Structure 1
Amino acid sequence: MSTYFPVHPENPQRRSINHVVDILRDGGLIAYPTDSGYAFGARLGNKDALERIRKIRDLSDKHHFTLVMSQFAQVGQYVQMDNWVFRAVKAAVPGRYTFILKATRDVPKVMLHPRKKTVGVRVPQHVTALSLLEVLDEPIVSSTLIMPGHHTPMVDGWQVQDELGDHLDAVIDSGDCGAEPTTVVDFTSGEALITRRGAGDPTPFE
């Protein structure tokens, strides 16, 4: 059973955040709140955790995992961006978007789309998620916590704990969580293609 960490939504207790980061560093799989629903989280390069996510969500090997980062300045280390893409992404973050882009060599192959060599990147606007990223000091590998047969993410920490506690190592609950998944914008074809309409305003990419 996972460890449940209730934290304050505006000032997450550093002790709890530190414990969750230790779990991530030890190879654990967590669930944490974002501005677009709950997400699974693991440390970069954690192959076992990615397989656990695939099993829970019933995902194929073509699923795009997402690197969640604390600030736009980190994005260029992990994905390739032309100047116009750079400007478009910078204008939209932080926010409720996931951007699909060609990965750099700093991204482990295990989390790439097997044919396209692409990955998702995201900069959320959520206090708890950003606190985690600040302490971990590196991106979190994530996937929206949408269960098989559903179209929206889980949004309640107690529900996540009750239904998935046996499959996770930690659940953070700050009581505030967006109800819609991110809007996904794929730039890999040379233009902006909206592949999922969600919480982020799609207008700038249409």
Structure 2
Amino acid sequence: MLLQVHPDNPNARNIKTIVECLQDGGIIIYPTDTVYGLGCDITQPKAIERIARIKHIDPKKANFSFICYDLSHLSDYAKSVDTPVFRMLKKALPGPYTFILPASRQVPRLLKTKKDTVGIRVPNNNICRTIVKELGNPIMSTTLPIEHYVEEYTDPEIIYEKFGKQVDIVVDGGPGGMAFSTVIDCTGPVPELVREGIGSFEAIS
């Protein structure tokens, strides 16, 4: 199903359809403030396994991130962070950043990496934040199963043509981007830039 959702004022009925799909173990493709992502409810192991199959990866080795509504979810899924790191998170989010943090016990076992870390995202995108808010859980998120993001993968209709049969809903929130989030590892003594993306590391460090 290709479902149109207004980027500024997401239609409540359509959001409800998406949330019910996620609660039933469905998987979706949806817009963020960077590229379109592939996601499911983090509490649905079968959906996580389905995404891992689509991407041909082992869930434990994958770099999945958690899409949160705001920083209130942080203490649920990440161990307490020190004040400078929290200040950095507050400055950067919502925005095109992924922060790697030490995982708490509430991170589902299937999603625990060997390093015991979790990637946290709060995208500056009204659609995915509204979905997460209504769902009440973060969305486990990953990139689409493609080698390179090119112009056509910014178009939800083309994404639907290519991947519509593999997922339950493609959320059409208008054109997506082609660049990724900036990844910052906050598990060491000082935050470390892992991948330069849209977000400026200098602006928040």
TM-score by length of 2: 0.91
Runs of at least 5 residues in structure 1 that lack an aligned partner in the other structure: none
Question: Counterpart of 2:2?
Answer: 4
Deviation readout 1:52-95 (Å, 9 max, x if unpaired): 22222233432221111111222122102122211211211110
Equivalent residues of 2:2, 2:160 under 8 A apart: yes
More moved, 171-180 vs 49-58: 49-58
Deviation readout 1:148-183 (Å, 9 max, x if unpaired): 422579322112211111110111001142331111
In angstroms, what is the RMSD of aligned CA positions?
1.8
* Cα distance in 2 for residues equivalent to 1:76 and 1:178: 30
Question: Counterpart of 1:56?
Answer: 54
Identity %: 36
Deviation readout 1:76-135 (Å, 9 max, x if unpaired): 22102122211211211110000111111111111121x211111011111111221221
Q: How many residues align?
A: 202
Partner amino acid, structure 2, of 1:168: V
* Cα distance in 2 for residues equivalent to 1:189 and 1:148: 31
Question: Counterpart of 1:34?
Answer: 32
Question: Counterpart of 2:189?
Answer: 190
* Cα distance in 2 for residues equivalent to 1:116 and 1:204: 28
* Cα distance in 2 for residues equivalent to 1:121 and 1:162: 29
* Cα distance in 1 for residues equivalent to 2:147 and 2:5: 30
Q: How does 1:128-167 map to 2 (within 5 A)?
A: 128-145=127-144, 147-150=145-148, 154-167=153-166
Following superposition, the deviation at residue 21 of structure 1 comes to 0.4
Equivalent residues of 2:29, 2:37 under 8 A apart: yes
Q: How does 1:115-130 map to 2 (within 5 A)?
A: 115-130=114-129
Question: Counterpart of 1:112?
Answer: 112
Equivalent residues of 1:183, 1:197 under 8 A apart: yes
Question: Counterpart of 1:79?
Answer: 78
Partner amino acid, structure 2, of 1:202: F
Runs of at least 5 residues in structure 2 that lack an aligned partner in the other structure: none
SS at match of 1:31: strand
SS at match of 2:6: coil
Equivalent residues of 2:156, 2:175 under 8 A apart: no
Partner amino acid, structure 2, of 1:121: I
SS at match of 2:17: helix
